[in-house]
Amino acid sequence: MLLFQPVERVRNGNLMPDKECDYLIIGAGSAGCVLANRLSADGSQQVHVLEAGPMDHKLLIHVPAGVYSVYKDPSINWNYLAESQPEVDDRELELPRGKVIGGSSSINSMVYMRGHPRDYDRWADRPGLSNWSHARCLPYFKRCENSDRGASEWRGGDGPLGVSRGSLQNPLFDALMLAGEQSGQGCSEDLNGYQPEGIARLDRTVHNGRRCSAAVAHLRPALKRANVSLTTRALVERIETTDQRATGATYLYRGKRHTLQARKGVLLCCGAIKSPQLLMLSGIGDSDELAQHDIECKINLPAVGKNLQDHTTINLAFECKKPVTLHTLANPLKKLMVGSQWLINRSGVASSNIWEMGGLVFGNDRVEHPNLQYHFTPVYSEFEGTQIKLFQGYQLNCDQLRPQSRGAVTLRSANPADSPRARFNYLGERYDVFEMIEAFRVMQTLMHQPAFDEFRGARINPSPDVTSDAAIEAWIRQTISTDYHPCGTCRMGEGDDSVVDGDLKVHGIEGLRVIDASVMPEIVSGNLNAPTQMIAEKAADVILGAAPMAAEHPLYHFQ
């Protein structure tokens, strides 16, 4: 069953190799797809997109519940590994990143979360970033969004990105909402709206029962235009520069090397791991780092690859005394029934991203807004290799939203086909250890409210004997993982610690911008897909010289 009609010019491109375009977009991920759509809208700009991965023809990409099957699929995934470090018991942590049109928006868990308004106001407090306040960013979130909640002061109702409120019915979801009230952690009708704090139904990038990736929302509509073309399975080796100006890119395609010229600009949109790698391979980065790999330094920019941030996560899991969990999906007959229902009318459990509830909560009274984020699912799962096993249980994951630890992306070699080194320095700051211990305590409090009494069985993870701070810390170091939100490695700002300015132009070179999660000066308090698309929406206006959208100041309720 074809979800999309094949587009012949997607396969071979409208542009033959070694030709020109106005704007060259490197990376068809969350930001690149938005840019392709916005920059080509009036038909006057020739836009070409280079993507290392394939088209999104795999059916399970588009089935929301298929997330467990796609997010580790090596055919559509860079499958990076974070460098081992003693703070996490010398483990290499898995870091899936999308290698397919739509990028990570095609393999993620589809949670639509913008972060807290105060995150953006902190960005705007930095020199040169006054236009990145929440009031200036909100109109671009709304322009991008088509929410099933409808248009309002806080939400967009007619944008390209389909966003829907979780709707799967399960008594464990009801118990979690009630536990939020009983615990004093609070509840919210809309974490992206009036009250961005408490336990809530989460929004998802799901539209009409199907994943709404950035490729579905932005790139595929753009590809219908004669002025947009795409080359997939194209590995970019370097950005070409002449006289301190980016002029295009050299890439491998079907075993041959090609160069594509960009008349107006090169837009690097490869994410927090790949974007700094490509800058360094192009001679833009720390001169000492480049010299180690015999790369000629064209722009000495020491901040490239630094300031790497991420959300770490821990999870609590309990057996469930009642058979209300989704463990029956492991049954082949049940899988067939659920899959058939989705194919017929895009409904049923397969239309759910499974992680439909969560929250933004306080781990202590020292922070001004929530520093922890929950994701809750009514099933307990474990991976054995690439295979997932489901059990009659439920699971609460908790992210540390604003860690103090910082890492770096560096080169492994000068070979573009080699993955870079990503050392996150997880738990490198003692403060982060304290916050994760607090997170464990807060999670325990929530899970032991009366609302869960009829469901709560034995604690599966961690074992029941983990109770003291010392035991909790040891367990955290043994099991903590990433929630797949790397950012910050091409930070925007004006100082020596930044890579791009407030208009996302790379310092010291003309015609080159970085536009993706790597430009975030500080990680936001939520999932990164929505903010990344907002950044690209805002950047498109800057590139085209359009007047910025007017600032908006709706009322928010903060605890």
Tokens coding 73: 């699929």
Q: What is the DSSP string of 104-144?
A: GGGTS--EE----HHHHHHHHTSTT-GGGSHHHHHHHHHHH
Q: State the pLDDT at residue 3.
A: 47
273 vs 487: CA distance, rounded Å: 8
pLDDT digits (tens, 9 = 90+) for 43-97: 999 999 999 999 999 999 999 999 988 988 999 999 999 999 999 999 999 999 9
Q: State the pLDDT at residue 387.
A: 76
Which architecture characterizes domain 1-111+212-305+486-545 according to CATH?
3-Layer(bba) Sandwich (3.50)
95 vs 465: CA distance, rounded Å: 30
Tokens coding 365: 């009274």
Q: Is 258 a catalytic residue?
A: no
- pLDDT bracket for residue 14 (50, 70, 90): very low
CATH topology of domain 167-201+312-400+427-479: Cholesterol Oxidase; domain 2 (3.30.410)
CA angle 360, 364, 367 (to 5 degrees): 75
pLDDT digits (tens, 9 = 90+) for 402-452: 999 999 999 999 999 999 999 999 999 999 999 999 999 999 999 999 999
What is the pairing mode between strands 228-231 and 47-50?
A: parallel
Q: State the pLDDT at residue 10.
A: 47
pLDDT digits (tens, 9 = 90+) for 180-235: 999 999 999 999 999 999 999 999 999 999 999 999 999 999 999 999 999 999 99
**Nearest Cα to 262, choosing from 275, 270, 251?**
251
**b/e map 409-428, b = 16+ CB within 10 Å:** bbbeeeebeebbbbbbbbbb
Percent of the chain with pLDDT over 90: 93
Q: State the pLDDT at residue 158.
A: 97
8 A C-beta contact, residue 477 and residue 91: no
Among 43-47, 357-361, 379-383, 445-449, where is mean pLDDT lowest?
A: 379-383
Q: How many CA atoms lie within 13 A of 128 on its CB side?
A: 16
490 vs 273: CA distance, rounded Å: 10
**Nearest Cα to 524, choosing from 370, 363, 294?**
370
Q: What is the mean pLDDT of residues 165-176?
A: 97
8 A C-beta contact, residue 47 and residue 25: yes
- pLDDT bracket for residue 485 (50, 70, 90): very high
E-assigned strands of 7-160? Answer: 20-26, 47-50, 80-81, 94-95, 111-112, 145-147
Residue 236 has pLDDT above 50, yes or no: yes
Q: Which of 207, 218, 258, 485 is catalytic?
A: 485
8 A C-beta contact, residue 26 and residue 103: no
Residue 122 has pLDDT above 70, yes or no: yes
Tokens coding 391: 């059990």
Please state, rounded to an integer, the average pLDDT across all residues of the chain.
95
What residues does CATH 3.30.410.40 cover in the chain? 167-201+312-400+427-479
CB atoms within 10 A of CB 548: 12
Q: State the pLDDT at residue 103.
A: 98
Q: What is the mean pLDDT of residues 278-293?
A: 98
Residue 154 has pLDDT above 50, yes or no: yes
For residue 35, what are the contacts with CB-CB under 8 A and spacing of at least 6? 23, 25, 47, 267, 269, 515, 536, 539, 540, 543
Tokens 């990076």 identify what position?
80
- pLDDT bracket for residue 465 (50, 70, 90): very high
8 A C-beta contact, residue 204 and residue 227: no
What is the pairing mode between strands 299-300 and 284-285?
A: parallel
Tokens coding 400: 């540390």
478 vs 427: CA distance, rounded Å: 12
Tokens coding 378: 């009514």
Phi/psi zone of residue 465: left (φ > 0), alpha (ψ -120 to 50 degrees), beta?
alpha
8 A C-beta contact, residue 259 and residue 242: no
Q: State the pLDDT at residue 36.
A: 98
Among 17-26, 85-94, 303-312, 521-530, where is mean pLDDT lowest?
A: 17-26
Q: State the pLDDT at residue 384.
A: 78
8 A C-beta contact, residue 159 and residue 145: yes
- pLDDT bracket for residue 392 (50, 70, 90): very high
347 vs 343: CA distance, rounded Å: 8
Element spanning 291, H or E? helix 287-291
Q: State the pLDDT at residue 288.
A: 97
- Single-letter amino acid code for the residue at 493: G
Q: What is the mean pLDDT of residues 120-141?
A: 98
What is the pairing mode between strands 256-268 and 512-514?
A: parallel
Q: What is the mean pLDDT of residues 236-257?
A: 97
Q: What is the mean pLDDT of residues 278-307?
A: 98
In the three-class reduction of DSSP (H, G, I as helix; E, B as strand; rest coil), residue 323 is classed as coil
What residues does CATH 3.50.50.60 cover in the chain? 1-111+212-305+486-545
Residue 177 has pLDDT above 60, yes or no: yes
Q: Is the sign of the CA dihedral 500, 503, 508, 510 positive or negative?
A: positive
515 vs 84: CA distance, rounded Å: 28
CB atoms within 10 A of CB 459: 18
Q: Which residues pair with 257 in a beta bridge?
A: 252
CB atoms within 10 A of CB 92: 12
Q: Is the sign of the CA dihedral 124, 128, 130, 134 positive or negative?
A: negative
Residue 120 has pLDDT above 90, yes or no: yes
- Single-letter amino acid code for the residue at 410: T
8 A C-beta contact, residue 61 and residue 76: yes
Q: State the pLDDT at residue 12.
A: 39
265 vs 237: CA distance, rounded Å: 17
pLDDT digits (tens, 9 = 90+) for 504-530: 999 999 999 999 999 999 999 999 999
8 A C-beta contact, residue 304 and residue 276: yes
Tokens coding 380: 């307990």
What is the pairing mode between strands 47-50 and 20-26?
A: parallel
373 vs 473: CA distance, rounded Å: 19
Q: State the pLDDT at residue 144.
A: 98
CA 284 to chain centroid, in Å, comes to 25
8 A C-beta contact, residue 189 and residue 195: yes
For residue 144, what are the contacts with CB-CB under 8 A and spacing of at least 6? 34, 156, 159, 160, 161, 530, 533, 534, 537
